[in-house]
Amino acid sequence: MRDFLLRASVVAGALTAWLTELLGAFHLLRPLPLLSAWLAIAAGAAVFLYLHPPPVHKVPLRPLETLIAAGILWIAGMVAAAAWFSPPNSHDVLGYHLPRILYWAQSGSVGLFPTPYLNQICFPPLAEYFMLHAYLLSGGDRFVNLVSWSAFCASILGVTAIAAALKADSRSQAFAALFCATLPSGILQASSAKNECLAAFWLVAIVYFALRRDALFLGLSLGLAVFTKGTAYLFAPPLVAGMFLCDSAADRWRRWRWAPVWALAGVLLVNAPLYLRNLRVSGSPLGFDSPFGNGLYKFRNDPLGWKPALSTLLLNLSDQLGSSNQRWNQGVYRAVMDLHRWFHIDPDDPANRERMARYAPPVNTRHEANANNRWHLLLAIAAGLFALWLAWRRHDPRWLIYAASILCGFLLFCFYVRWYAWDARYFLGPLVVAAPLAGVFLGSLRPRVTAVVAGLLLFSLARLPATQNWLRPLRGPGNVFATSRDAQYFADLGAMHNQDSYREAVDRTARSGCRMVGIDSSENQLEYPFEALLRERAPAVRFVHTGVENSSARFADPRAPAPCAVLCLDCIGNPRKLALYRPMGEPQEVGRFLLFLPSGTP
């Protein structure tokens, strides 16, 4: 059954990608064509299941595994509640995940459009394709958070399948599921509209189908992974190589000889349309090397080398070790700084850091952008040492190879990607894939009570992320049940103190009667709260980016009417923007925003 569900997930991912691209090519990404297509797919799936029903086996209910399953169901239920009762509201979600969905939905296509924030058109879009379908079929963003939640649940199932494929017993499989389900960053992101949970699931699928030597599904899983998040280009290859080395069959080379061909085919079958669009706008199939195409906030270390890689590795490890104990955090900070001095490395070298970032002591947060997984990381390291012992004493190198493949992916990431203050979330995928390794380690602990205590510790680590997510809390005065959905859009913008500005801009634009609204987001990319709230007041309103000065400007629709209002985010005191939009009318100051409406508009 697990094998069937994993295969069905890969097929669903591929169908979502292809269906979106096909309908988008004809500007048919509308509710009726989309619903008709999915009904046809559902009918075909029903016929297939009738003719080829999946095998269903009775699962023995052992006490420990049953308790672990009950705990996981509680976590999944809490996360589902947070996902359902909260709108998409984290920083990146408001800046590019949801805006790109809105622009696709209003044009009926996933083609290029002008935008100052190039992540909206260049970044891998599969998670947003799932969310786009939910957005179109439901008429809003009510269901979009459930995409991450579904991937979170699928990953929990998938890591048990990996453990089973590696001959782990049922107790080890249950601990693998618990390790995955209690990752704090996974819990926090599983109720959001970000793409880390889905990217982690495709890594799980890659490992599983590599172990099964299923080249077709391995290739599709690889294609879906890189179509979801660019970090898969770094994390996936070492995993595939590791699973090849884990195969001890005498005819290993014969079994794997077509795997590279299927891997390349899977990547191209899914990603070719995105590669072509990126070539058109940037000259590279991977898009620009920075969010604004101007070299600021570059994604990769520049230059590449062992010193930047070592520095990035130390800082990423530091981010994962943050605690509520400030003495501990200061100790980690001093140790990292001492190591930098030992190797004559500047930890704040701007060539290899976020432009405005400075390394500081790690923190312990319940925010999805930088929440760490300290205890899970330490447990994974212990499991890696256990794998070394298995290879030495029992002459079983499989788990050591497995651990080494995860480590190589981490090192490759640190070599290529520069350190940012929110990098902690990028390592959800490798930690999810480490769950089978941790499960085998926990399942081998003796006496059994030791494993039970470790399981209780893991479960306790999940309680606060599940119930007191800083952006979508289930408890406390600002919980999702007591706070209006509209107010929750601003949960991640408290430090900006501009909630009233968004609301006032929405009110004035709605009263103007304008139905083609321009948005200049070159100074502040968080456009979605304005768009979501205005669409509640005026469902027929459409949006277009204005003031775009990069290469995407040429993809503006020449047939679209000119905007009758322009909101310029954080443009107060900007003479260039004033000169650009003044012909529309005198600017209205709304906090740090400038709203341009035709003369005479109230």
pLDDT-derived band of residue 304, with 50, 70 and 90 as boundaries?
A: confident
Assess if residue 184 is contained within a domain. yes
In terms of pLDDT, which residue wins out, 584 or 234?
A: 234
Dig out the tokens for 29 from the structure.
Answer: 């990404």
Residue 66 is part of which domain span? 2-293+371-467
Which of 452, 467, 482 is the last residue in one of the domains? 467
Assess if residue 357 is contained within a domain. no
pLDDT at 139: 93
* Cβ 396 vs Cβ 390: under 8 Å: yes
Q: Is the pLDDT of residue 565 over 80?
A: yes
Assess if residue 309 is contained within a domain. no
Q: Is the pLDDT of residue 90 over 90?
A: yes
Distance CA 259, CA 37 (A): 32
Listing from the earlier edge strand, what are the strands of the sheet with 542-545? Answer: 542-545, 516-520, 565-568, 593-596, 587-590
> Which range, of 50-54, 65-69, 317-321, 466-470, averages the lowest pLDDT?
50-54
Q: List beta partners, residue 567.
A: 519, 595
Chain position carrying tokens 């959001």: 192
The mean pLDDT of 391-413, rounded to a whole number, is 93
Is there a single domain that holds both residue 462 and residue 500?
no
DSSP line for 270-312? HHHHHHHHHHHHHSSTT--SSTTSSSTT-SB-SS-SHHHHHHH
Is there a single domain that holds both residue 441 and residue 498?
no
Assess if residue 397 is contained within a domain. yes
pLDDT at 599: 66
Task: Catalogue the E-assigned strands of 364-490.
Answer: none
* Cβ 144 vs Cβ 418: under 8 Å: no
Q: Is the pLDDT of residue 352 over 80?
A: no
Is there a single domain that holds both residue 517 and residue 445?
no
* Cβ 439 vs Cβ 175: under 8 Å: yes
Is there a single domain that holds both residue 432 and residue 518?
no
Which 8-state DSSP code applies to residue 555? G
Is there a single domain that holds both residue 543 and residue 457?
no
The mean pLDDT of 513-533, rounded to a whole number, is 96
Q: Is the pLDDT of residue 251 over 80?
A: no
Is there a single domain that holds both residue 462 and residue 505?
no
pLDDT-derived band of residue 92, with 50, 70 and 90 as boundaries?
A: very high
* Cβ 437 vs Cβ 405: under 8 Å: no
Which of 450, 467, 484 is the last residue in one of the domains? 467
Chain position carrying tokens 């001890």: 248
Is there a single domain that holds both residue 411 and residue 450?
yes
pLDDT tens-digit profile of 442-476? 999 988 889 899 999 999 999 999 999 999 999 98
Is there a single domain that holds both residue 461 and residue 505?
no
> Which range, of 9-23, 241-255, 456-470, 584-598, averages the lowest pLDDT?
241-255
Assess if residue 544 is contained within a domain. yes
In terms of pLDDT, which residue wins out, 318 or 356?
A: 318
Chain position carrying tokens 């209003």: 106
What's the mean pLDDT when you consider all of the chain? 93
pLDDT tens-digit profile of 326-350? 999 999 999 999 999 999 888 877 7
pLDDT at 600: 58
Assess if residue 133 is contained within a domain. yes
Question: If residue 407 lies in a helix (H) or strand (E), which one and from where to where?
Answer: helix 398-416
Please give the biggest Cα pair distance in the chain: 84
pLDDT tens-digit profile of 170-200? 999 999 999 999 999 999 999 999 999 999 9
Is there a single domain that holds both residue 449 and residue 498?
no
CA dihedral for 543, 549, 555, 559, sign (positive or negative): positive
Is there a single domain that holds both residue 431 and residue 550?
no
* Cβ 8 vs Cβ 41: under 8 Å: no
Is there a single domain that holds both residue 440 and residue 505?
no
Strands 516-520 and 565-568: parallel
Which of 419, 452, 467 is the last residue in one of the domains? 467
Domain with 565 in it: what CATH number? 3.40.50
DSSP line for 414-441? HHHBPB-TTGGGGGHHHHHHTHHHHHHH
pLDDT tens-digit profile of 208-219? 999 999 999 999
Count: domains in the chain:
2
For 159, residues 6+ apart whose C-beta sits below 8 A from its C-beta are 176, 177, 179, 180, 204, 432, 433, 435, 436, 439
Assess if residue 260 is contained within a domain. yes
Assess if residue 601 is contained within a domain. no
Is there a single domain that holds both residue 463 and residue 499?
no
Distance CA 421, CA 339 (A): 19
CA distances to 69, 86, 464, 561 from 474, rounded to whole Å, are 22, 10, 10, 44
Q: Which of 237, 250, 127 is nearest to 192 (CA)?
A: 127
